[in-house]
């Protein structure tokens, strides 16, 4: 009887040690950025969602939603991966054709630059209307210094 109890305690100890050794699964750091337009564009919004952190060279998935609770909206829009002073990658350039009280949804696939560690911006631009940026971290968060994005150059380039 003592041998069975000891064997049972040893098995419980092995299970506990094994469970403690398993790597903890890190949940991805997700974000949702919503920009409500104002003035003549009141009632329109841009929302982008996805995972904030990524590894160099990997594909990341995002979802872009553009809503229009205003007049019909026909325009161009761009999605760019940007550094603080340059376009790193054009993700998409397409036409908006949204009826009043309508919207559009578009999945985006972004290949993060290989060999890069730092902060990049995922920027949505609708010339003459708005631009918004979501900050992405490529590499380990602890290694990354915060960065300011002045995208005036990019907005003017697309007008």
Here the CATH number for the domain that contains residue 38 is 2.60.40.10
- Is residue 108 within 8 A of residue 123, CB to CB? The reply is no
Domain housing 96: 28-158
Q: 121 in a domain, yes or no?
A: yes
Evaluate the CA torsion angle 68, 70, 73, 77 in order and state its sign.
negative
Q: 33 in a domain, yes or no?
A: yes
d(CA 127, CA 131): 8
Q: 54 in a domain, yes or no?
A: yes
Q: 15 in a domain, yes or no?
A: no
Lowest mean pLDDT among 12-16, 48-52, 81-85: 12-16
The arithmetic mean of pLDDT across residues 62-69, rounded, is 95
Q: 16 in a domain, yes or no?
A: no
Number of domains comprising the chain = 1
- Is residue 62 within 8 A of residue 122, CB to CB? The reply is yes
Q: How confident is the model at residue 17 (pLDDT cuts 50, 70, 90)?
A: very low
State pTM to two decimals: 0.74
């Amino acid at each position: 009887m003592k041998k069975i109890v000891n064997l049972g305690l040893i098995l419980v100890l092995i299970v506990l040690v094994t469970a403690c050794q398993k790597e903890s699964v890190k949940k991805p750091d997700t974000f949702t950025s919503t920009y409500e337009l104002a003035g003549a564009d009141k009632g329109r919004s841009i929302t982008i969602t996805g995972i904030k952190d990524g590894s160099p060279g990997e594909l990341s998935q995002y979802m872009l939603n553009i809503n229009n609770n205003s007049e019909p909206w026909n325009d161009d829009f761009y999605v760019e991966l940007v550094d603080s002073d340059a376009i790193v990658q054009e993700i998409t350039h397409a036409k908006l054709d949204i009826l009043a009280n309508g919207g559009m949804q578009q999945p985006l696939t972004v290949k993060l630059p290989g060999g890069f560690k730092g902060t990049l911006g995922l920027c949505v631009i609708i010339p003459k209307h708005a631009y918004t940026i979501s900050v992405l971290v490529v590499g380990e968060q602890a290694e990354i210094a915060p960065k300011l994005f002045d995208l005036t150059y990019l907005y003017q380039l697309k007008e």
